[in-house]
Amino acid sequence: MVRVVLCLSVLCLSDPVFSTDSNLVINNITISGNIKTRTSIILRELTFQKGDTILSSDFERHLNRSRENILNTSLFNYVTINAYNNSEKNTDIHITVEERWYFWPALIFKYEDRNFSAWLKAKDLSKTKYGLSLEKYNFLGRKQNLRVSFLFGYAKQFEISYKNIALDRSRRHFIGAMAEISRQDEMIFDTKNNVPVLFRSTFQPVLEIKKYTLNYTFRPMLNDLHNLYINYFEYKVSDTILKLNSDFLGENINEMDCFTIDYVYTKDNRDIKAYPLKGYYIEVLAGETFSMPRSKNSISSTVIIPNLYKFFELGSRFHYASNLTIKLSYNSTHSYFYSRSLGYIYNLHGFEYNTIEGEHFIIFKNLVKFTLLKPKIAELKFLPLPKFNKIHYAVYLNLFTDCGYVSSKYASLDNNYSNKFLYSGGIGLDMVTYYDKTLRAEYSVNGFGKAGFYFHLTAPINK
C-alpha cells in the first residue's frame, strides 16, 4: 500500500497534467512599423524566438524584457508587444514599433564645459561650439551610425565616424572607426583652491589633439558587451601652457604621440537606459597608454575603473538608486592631464564647480525618488510629422546623498579637497521627456558648507 501511494505521488509531481505551470510555444512572430529598420535587428533583441517554449509564469517577464531591449536600441519612440493565443499551448507574438527620425542634418549650438552648471556660472557665450553635423542613425536599417561634423567656436573640431558595423548574421561581432581633429584656444591647465584654472590665447591654439580609433565589439548575449578600443593620439600644447604647468602632459612635455588600448566590459540589465527605475548596470574599464617606440617623450599610464549602478523599485511610486565607482591608476611620471579625477567625467553633487585631481578615487551615491507624474504621452496635433508630434514625459522628485575620497600624492595645500572625505546631500526635480532627454534642477549642500542650485541635462544617477 505504501508503494502505491509513493508511486502516485511521484506521478502527480512529474506529470504535466498535475503541474500548476504550463508551457507556451511561440508559434509565430510578426512585426509592423519598421519601415527603415530590418526585421533581424528587432528579432535580435527578443529573449525568445519562433519555436521556443516558455513557461507561462515567465511569459510576461519575457515580453517586458524584450520590449525594454527594443526600446534601449534608441531606434524607436514607442514599442508594444501583444500576444494572441491560438490554443492553450500556442501563441502568436505581434510587435508594433514607431521609428524615430534617423537623419539629422543640423546646425549645432552646444555648451562646452565640464557640466551644464559650470557653463551657466561662467556666463561666457564664447564657451560654445557651433557648426554643421550630418548624422545618419540606423544607416541602411542595420543600426549602424554614420556621422560627419564640422564645429567652430570654443573648439575647432572635425569628426568622422562609422560605428556598429556587424560582421556576422547573428550580430555578435561588430567593428567601428573614428577620426577626430580638434584645436582650442582655451583650456584648463591646473587646479587652484579646488577650482579649475584656465588660460586663453588670442594668437595660437593652446591645445591640439588628433585621435584615430578602431573599435571591436563582441555581444555574446543580449545584455553583455565586450569592447576593445585601439586609439592613437597626437597631443600638442603651447609653450605658454608648458611654462604655466610643466607637468601638464608629463615632466616638461609639450608634444606626445601615444597609443591607448582600452577594454570595456558592460552588463546592462536596466529597464530603460535613458532613465532607469529597475535593474542594474555594470561597467569595468581597463586601459593602458604608452608612448610610441623611440619617442623622445616617454610616458605610460594604467587605469582600472569598475562602475556599478543599481536601481530598485520600492513601490508603485518610490524608487531607490545607488552608484559605486572606483578608479585605480598608475602614471610613470607626474601628469596633470592623466590625474584628472572628479569634476570631469565623474562628479559628486554639490561639487559641480570644483575639479579634484588624484591617482585614485572612490565615490558612492544614493538616491530615493518619488514619482510626481507617471509617464504620459501627449500628442501635439499642430505638428504634422508623426515622429515628432507625440511627446512622452514624466516628473520625479528625489533626495540624494553622495560621498567619496580622492587620493593624490601630488596634492598641494591649496587643493585641500584631495585626500579628504567628501560628502554632500540635497533635493532634486527631474523631468524626463522627448527623445530620452532629462531636465534636472537641484539644490545641494556639500561637506564644506557650500550650497547652491544646480542644473543638469542628465539623470542624477545613471551611466
Q: How far, in Å, CA of 321 to CA of 312, rounded?
A: 6
More confident residue, 293 or 328: 328
Q: What is the pLDDT of residues 294-324, one digit of tens each?
A: 666 678 899 999 999 999 999 989 999 999 9
Q: How far, in Å, CA of 242 to CA of 263, rounded?
A: 31
In this structure, what DSSP letter does residue 205 have? -
- For the cut 80, the answer to whether the pLDDT of residue 159 exceeds it is yes
Grid coordinates of 36 = 527603415
Q: How many CB atoms lie within 10 A of CB 22?
A: 12
Grid coordinates of 159 = 569628426
Helix/strand number for the chain, H first, E second: 5, 24
pLDDT of residue 9: 41
Q: How confident is residue 192, by pLDDT bands cut at 50, 70 and 90?
A: very high
3-state secondary structure of 60: helix
- H/E element holding 88? none
Q: Which amino acid is at 229?
A: Y
pLDDT of residue 306: 97
- For the cut 50, the answer to whether the pLDDT of residue 225 exceeds it is yes
Which of 162-166, 374-378, 418-422 has the weakest average pLDDT? Answer: 374-378
Q: How far, in Å, CA of 213 to CA of 256, rounded?
A: 17
Contact partners, residue 243, CB within 8 Å, separation at least 6: none
Percent of the chain at pLDDT > 90 equals 48
Question: What mean pLDDT is reported for the chain?
Answer: 86
pLDDT of residue 7: 42
Residue corresponding to grid cell 566590459: 265
Q: What is the mean pLDDT of residues 16-41?
A: 79
Q: Do 460 and 401 touch, CB atoms closer than 8 A?
A: no
The closest alpha carbon to 343, from 189, 123, 197, 196, belongs to 196
Contact partners, residue 39, CB within 8 Å, separation at least 6: 31
Cα four-point dihedral sign 107, 111, 113, 117: negative
Domains parsed from the chain with CATH numbers: 22-99 (3.10.20.310), 103-456 (2.40.160.50)
Q: Which is it for strands 90-99 and 23-32: parallel, antiparallel or unpaired?
A: parallel
SS3 content of the chain, % helix, strand, coil (to 5): 10, 55, 35
Contact partners, residue 374, CB within 8 Å, separation at least 6: 317, 394
Q: Which amino acid is at 344?
A: Y
Bridge partners of residue 262, in order along the sequence: 229, 287
- Cα 131 to its chain centre, rounded Å, is 24
Q: What is the pLDDT of residues 83-119, one digit of tens each?
A: 888 777 889 999 999 888 777 666 666 667 787 788 7
Say how many residues make up the chain: 463
Q: What is the pLDDT of residues 167-191, one digit of tens each?
A: 988 889 999 999 999 998 888 899 9
Phi-psi region of 52 (alpha: psi -120 to 50; beta: other; left: phi over 0): beta
Q: Which is it for strands 360-379 and 224-237: parallel, antiparallel or unpaired?
A: unpaired
Contact partners, residue 141, CB within 8 Å, separation at least 6: 36, 37, 38, 41
Q: How far, in Å, CA of 416 to CA of 420, rounded?
A: 7
Q: How far, in Å, CA of 47 to CA of 100, rounded?
A: 23
